[in-house]
Chain A
Amino acid sequence: EVQLVESGGDLVQPGRSLTLSCTASGFIFGDYAVNWVRQAPGKGLEWVGFIRSRRFGDIKEYAASVKGRFTIARDDSKRIAYLQMDSLKTEDTALYFCTRGPHAFCSSQSCHSDYWGQGTLVTVSS
């Protein structure tokens, strides 16, 4: 069974950093891209960024709202993807989901999500 479990969400002050983890099981992690998607309280979905598999160059892309502040990484040996968030702002408060991106059905630029984790909550407040 495909599973994605996010962790690391917390209450942090503006300007501080936080790293989220996404632990995968039930599939060959290294064969898939990983997306990060967030949802502010009561709002819609916002794509944050993604990382391709090593076979596709480990390419990373980010939304304009987080570019330069957030960094996505992966450790295929541990089956974990990371979202490092620096210089956090109050508007980064959201439930953060990691999702699996199936390369076989991705465009040349990015991937949709076929499986989703349950999310981890990040609250940025003083």
Chain B
Amino acid sequence: DIQMTQSPSTVSASVGDRVTITCRASQSINLWLAWYQQKPGKAPKTLIYKASNLESGVPSRFSGSGSGTDFTLTISSLQPDDFATYYCQQYSTNAATFGQGTKVEIK
């Protein structure tokens, strides 16, 4: 299976900060990467698919980039509603896999 490694595991940031989360695949996944946001006690919410495509209704401060093995999720100006855990997922192979998650916490 393809291993997905996110960094950092935790990021402490303030409202208005630019936040970048990295996701690295153990082998090339082309553009087959999605990003999800999860708040405590809630189901995940889909943010981005195919590396850089924003799901409908997702604020434009979220953006995704990358291809092959290296990907990033960027929040251009962190808002109070953005404090959550973020997961990447590859769906390039017949065994999709998630990263371990990155928690964005209040500094």
Residue ranges of A at the interface with B (Cβ–Cβ < 8 Å): 35, 37, 44-47, 50, 61-64, 97, 105-107, 109-119
Knowing A45-B87, A45-B98, A46-B98, say if A109 contacts B43 (CB, 8 Å). no
Q: Is the CB of B43 within 8 A of A110?
A: no
B91 within 8 A of A: yes
Residues of B near A62 (CB, < 8 A) are 95
Q: How many B residues are at the interface, by size bracket?
A: 20 to 34
Residue of B nearest to A112 (CB): B34
Q: Is the CB of B32 within 8 A of A47?
A: no
In the assembled complex, the CB of A105 is this many whole angstroms from the nearest CB of chain B, namely 6
The CA-CA distance from A5 to B92 in the complex, in Å, is: 27
Does more than half of chain B's interface fall in helix, strand or loop, or is it mixed?
loop
- In this complex, which of B43, B44, B89, B98 has the most chain A Cβ atoms within 10 angstroms of its Cβ? B43
Ordered by A's residue number, 7 sampled pairs between the chains whose C-beta atoms are within 8 Å are: A44-B100, A47-B97, A63-B95, A106-B91, A109-B94, A111-B91, A113-B36
Residues of B near A44 (CB, < 8 A) are 87, 98-101
- In this complex, which of B34, B87, B91, B98 has the most chain A Cβ atoms within 10 angstroms of its Cβ? B91
The CA-CA distance from A117 to B89 in the complex, in Å, is: 18
Residues of B near A110 (CB, < 8 A) are 91-96
Residues facing A in B43-61 (CB within 8 A) are: 43-46, 49-50, 53, 55
Partner of A45, one of B30, B44, B95: B44
Partner of B94, one of A61, A112, A115, A116: A61
Q: Is the CB of A116 within 8 A of B49?
A: no
